[in-house]
Amino acid sequence: MKRQLNSPDFASTMSSTKFQPKRGTICAARYSQDNLWYRARVLRVAGKIVTIMFIDFGDEESVDTGVAGAPRLAALPKNLEGHEPVATPYRLAYVQLPPDSDDRKAALEYLTQRIGDVNIRVSPVPGPATPCGKDDNRPVHSAVVYVCSKQPNEPSGSADSASDVIDVGEELLSNGLVYMERARMPSDICVRYSEAQQSAMRGRRNIWRYGDFRDDDAA
């Protein structure tokens, strides 16, 4: 796919075709890091700004279609539309983003920095996919995500032990960036997550700085 999208044949076809991005459309997009073409899904369109997700490796970018120069979005060749995405989307299990938009942004920025360019382990949670995402609300499966303390360039020993991994959801809870989901979960995770959230609430960290915001929802 990558070879076809970056071939002279695709370049000649793309230059003669006008692409109109619409939310949910699978298209071809140039990745800013290497300027090569990859498959992407249009997440949202706000005027000239188009936000996309590269479906074969998961990165998101915003493209300003009003900027002059070589196009960064194009229609995808028909023979590439039917291939399943290589990247599998997951939502963090057992935690929820706060309702406040600034708090949500802070949590997402922390998460992006925490798991970017490090070795992670994804542990899918059994059960049906649930709607997720502000823009397309597509059903995705849940997973517990761990950051491995041993990174790819470090010597590896035996299988990861509990001390070798950091539960990202637990860390977000401890920092008061998210709150626990009201859902059934394994007892060991329930204990760890409850303790992390209680610690953040006692310390009035981030979303708990004014107390328990959930009391307002119940009022």
What is the full per-residue pLDDT of the chain (219 aa) written as tens digits?
777 788 877 765 665 457 889 998 999 999 998 999 999 999 999 999 999 999 998 888 999 988 877 788 998 888 887 788 888 889 999 999 999 999 999 999 999 899 988 899 999 999 888 877 655 567 889 999 999 976 555 554 444 555 689 999 999 999 999 999 998 999 999 999 999 999 999 999 999 999 998 876 554
- Give me the CATH number covering residue 131: 2.40.50.90
Whether 96 and 68 share a structural domain: no
CA atoms within 13 A on the CB side of 115: 22
Three-state DSSP state, 14: helix
- Give me the CATH number covering residue 63: 2.30.30.140
Whether 46 and 117 share a structural domain: no
Whether 55 and 75 share a structural domain: yes
Three-state DSSP state, 24: coil
Domain end call among 58, 84, 110? 84
Domain for residue 5, yes or no? yes
Q: Is the pTM of this model over 0.75?
A: no
* Domain membership of residue 198 as a residue range: 91-208
**Residue 68 and residue 91: Cα distance in Å, rounded?**
36
